Amino acid sequence: MMTWSPIAEGRRVAVGVSVASQANLLADLARRMASRQGFTVATLNLDHVVKLRSDVQFREAYAAHSHVTADGNPIVWLSRLAGDAVELVPGSDLIDPVVALAASAAVPVALFGSTDAALAAARRELEARHPGLAVVLTLAPQMGFDPTGPAADQAIAAVRDSGARLCLLALGAPKQEIFAARAAAVLPEVGFLSIGAGLDFLAGKQRRAPKLMRALALEWLWRLAGNPRRLAARYASCAAILPGLTVAALRARGTARVAAP
């Protein structure tokens, strides 16, 4: 469905939202689980766009994903401005519905990322929410984990040996997307869902913004207030690319109108 890419201009690989809604995504993931067909789900936000523009490896990994959702209201607004009717589908909001699909289809699950303590707490929470769920692997990476190095090979082997067919990745961008693309090529029956801080939210290690702030598109402000030193520069970089993205979205909309019969 992608008609607009926030990083297409002047680059060989285009990346954009490919799934219009959570309902569409879940329907396709359920079909893939039933047929033992793997998948890779990335959730596009402005921080990813900044990184994608300068990181070729990240860009190629993203382009290899089977599904890309809009994770962040600016991506939703820009996509709609370009003529693509998409919904907000954050990675953290996908954990429970995708895990519910796995539980109902008897698909074993792996959790990869964060820390051992957070993984244990997230596992308990998921198993309590979804009776019958089989979490067959929890794996915390060492500091400095390289998604293309020997540690990644060992992680892929661990997922394979565990029998998991759904792997929740909480490694942060770009590591989780690069790992997902690499692992999916080796494990074609496994689905990989990148969820960022999702496991830490489940474990209570981090607190997500209240629902009202999310409804008002102010989750970024909640996160900035909680960690200004780490996030101020990131959000400034995101704000800096918005004018250019707006122009590109309007240009894409105009091109689509001219091309329409």
Q: Which residues contact 109 (CB under 8 A, 6 or more apart)?
A: 99, 102, 126, 133, 134, 135, 136, 164, 165, 166, 167, 168
Predicted pLDDT at 60: 93
* pLDDT for the residue numbered 1: 56
Which range marks the domain in which residue 185 is found? 22-251
pLDDT at 13: 59
d(CA 240, CA 155): 37
The residue-averaged pLDDT of 166-171 equals: 97
Which two tokens mark 81? 């401005």
* Domain count within the chain: 1
Residue 258 lies in a domain: no
| Residue 211: inside a domain | yes
pLDDT at 104: 97
Q: Kindly state the average pLDDT of the residues 59-63.
A: 94
Residue 7 resides in a domain: no
Whole-structure pTM value: 0.92
pLDDT given at position 226: 81
Average pLDDT, the chain: 90
**Residue 14 falls inside a structural domain:** no
Residue 13 lies in a domain: no
CA pair distance 31, 20, nearest whole angstrom: 17
| 178, pLDDT greater than 70 | yes
Taking residues 222-227, report their average pLDDT.
79
Distance between CA atoms of 125 and 185, rounded to whole angstroms? 30
Q: How confident is the model at residue 221 (pLDDT cuts 50, 70, 90)?
A: confident
Residue 12 pLDDT > 80: no
Residue 69 lies in a domain: yes
Tens digit of each residue's pLDDT (9 = 90 or more) over 100-138: 999 999 999 999 999 999 999 999 999 999 999 999 999
**Percent of residues, the chain, with pLDDT higher than 90:** 69
Give the tens place of pLDDT for each residue, 41-53.
999 999 999 999 9
Under the banding of pLDDT at 50, 70 and 90, the label for residue 156 is: very high
Paired residues of 40 in beta bridges: 192
Q: Determine, yes or no, domain membership for 63.
A: yes
Counting other chains too, the contacts that 49-54 makes at CB distance below 8 Å and 24 or more residues apart are: 49/6, 49/7, 49/75, 49/238, 49/241, 49/245, 50/234, 50/237, 50/238, 50/241, 51/173, 51/174, 52/6, 52/7, 52/15, 53/7, 53/11, 53/241
Percent of the chain scored above 70 by pLDDT?
Answer: 93
Contacts of 163 (CB under 8 A, 6+ apart): 108, 136
Identify whether 4 is part of a domain.
Answer: no
What pLDDT digit, counting tens, does each position of 63-103 carry? 999 999 999 899 999 999 998 889 999 999 999 999 999 99
Q: What contacts 247, CB < 8 A, 6 or more positions away? A: none
Q: Phi and psi dihedrals of 22, rounded to 5? A: -65, -40
Confidence of residue 260 (pLDDT cuts 50, 70, 90): very low
